[in-house]
């Protein structure tokens, strides 16, 4: 009797299961069956994933365990705050120290400034300086813009990324967003979109502010986006630049500058395996010296390195070289 009852229970359960997957029950897929459709119930059942969206980090390097000190520099591990090396082709993090520590980016900020500008403004758009572009401090990098001065975005991006002029950063901001504050909002929104969620920006230049910070890993995320623009790579690979911009009166103002990147200036030499493409420096008392850099190996594979809060230029480039020695 028990066996009969058990068989009856199994039969009833089977009927109920069939009903639940048929058109007779209340539960339905809501997608018509079509064995040739990639969006039908048949495809859901067969777990076909050909049209599934890629995960956010599918094409990104993810930080692993902290690297050991065997690749350390003579100045010691306390001579800088954070350092990372990313293999873009292999999507690997080859070196990792303090990836998520919040640090001041100084002028590396201008990488994000360039991204927001390139996404929202044409290269030939004429930018006009207002009073917020006039910087009077003696200890900041600037070209001494005056209210009414004009130049194109293309000119401004060259001066921003090669010479790291802070007044030109303001020039870009006020012309793209209407004000420095509104541009900072755009920067933070862009950073969030790129996954740089441990960052916050209050100005387009990187001039010191306690509420203006990023991390080594976020800096990689921002720089990785920036190098998707051919114009960005073109500019950061230049060792010098000359142009002519204009006063409000129409007067021509010639301008020439050299890069702040000491690799491109020939003041430091990378390891033999590394070909330096270009990058962005940063330096303030609070931020120390910083560098985010694009390099290639002998097989033309690309790498991004980041060093933040180094105790001086020698430490910065020595540590960067120790990272580039990991290139094969």
Looking at CATH, the fold of the domain delimited by 69-324 is given as Beta-lactamase (3.40.710)
CA distances to 110, 156, 236, 291 from 76, in Å: 29, 38, 30, 18
Active site residues: 107, 110, 164
* pLDDT digit string, tens, across residues 231-267: 999 999 999 999 999 999 999 999 999 999 999 999 9
Residues of the chain with CATH 3.40.710.10: 69-324
Kindly report the backbone phi and psi dihedral angles of residue 39, in degrees, each rounded to the nearest multiple of 5, phi listed first: -120, 15
Nearest residue to 221 (alpha-carbon basis) of 83, 111, 123, 97: 111
> Which pTM value belongs to this model?
0.83
Which residue stretches of the chain have pLDDT < 70? 1-57, 68-71, 328
Nearest residue to 133 (alpha-carbon basis) of 176, 104, 185: 176
- What pLDDT is attached to residue 64? 80
- What pLDDT is attached to residue 31? 46
């Amino acid at each position: 009797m028990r066996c009969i009852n058990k068989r009856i229970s199994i039969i009833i359960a089977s009927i109920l299961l069939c009903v639940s997957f048929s058109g007779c029950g209340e539960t339905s897929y809501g997608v018509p069956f079509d064995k040739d459709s990639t969006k039908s119930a048949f495809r859901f059942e067969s777990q076909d994933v050909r049209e599934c969206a890629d995960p956010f980090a599918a094409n990104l390097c993810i930080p692993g365990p902290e690297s050991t000190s065997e690749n350390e520099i003579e100045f010691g591990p306390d001579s800088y705050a954070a350092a990372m090396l990313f293999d873009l082709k292999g999507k690997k993090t080859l070196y990792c120290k303090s990836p998520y520590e919040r640090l001041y980016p100084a002028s590396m900020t201008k990488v994000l400034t360039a991204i927001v500008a390139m996404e929202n403004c044409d290269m030939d758009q004429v930018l006009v300086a207002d009073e917020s572009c006039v910087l009077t401090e003696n200890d900041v990098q600037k070209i001494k813009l005056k209210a009414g001065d004009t130049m194109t975005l293309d000119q401004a991006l060259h001066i921003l990324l090669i010479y790291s002029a802070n007044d030109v950063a303001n020039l870009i901001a006020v012309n793209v967003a209407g004000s420095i504050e509104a541009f900072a909002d755009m920067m933070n929104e862009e950073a969030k979109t790129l996954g740089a969620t441990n960052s916050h920006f209050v100005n387009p230049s990187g001039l010191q502010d306690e509420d203006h910070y990023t991390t080594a890993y976020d800096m990689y995320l921002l720089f990785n986006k920036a190098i998707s623009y051919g114009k960005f790579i073109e500019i950061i690979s230049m060792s010098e630049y000359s142009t002519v911009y204009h006063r409000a009166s129409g007067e021509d103002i010639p301008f020439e500058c050299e890069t702040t990147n000491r690799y491109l200036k020939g003041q430091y030499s990378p390891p033999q395996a590394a070909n330096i493409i270009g990058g962005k420096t940063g330096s303030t008392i609070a931020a120390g010296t910083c560098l985010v850099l694009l390099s290639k190996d002998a097989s033309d594979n690309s790498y991004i390195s980041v060093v933040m809060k180094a105790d001086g230029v020698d430490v910065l480039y020595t540590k960067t070289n120790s990272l580039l020695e990991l290139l094969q």
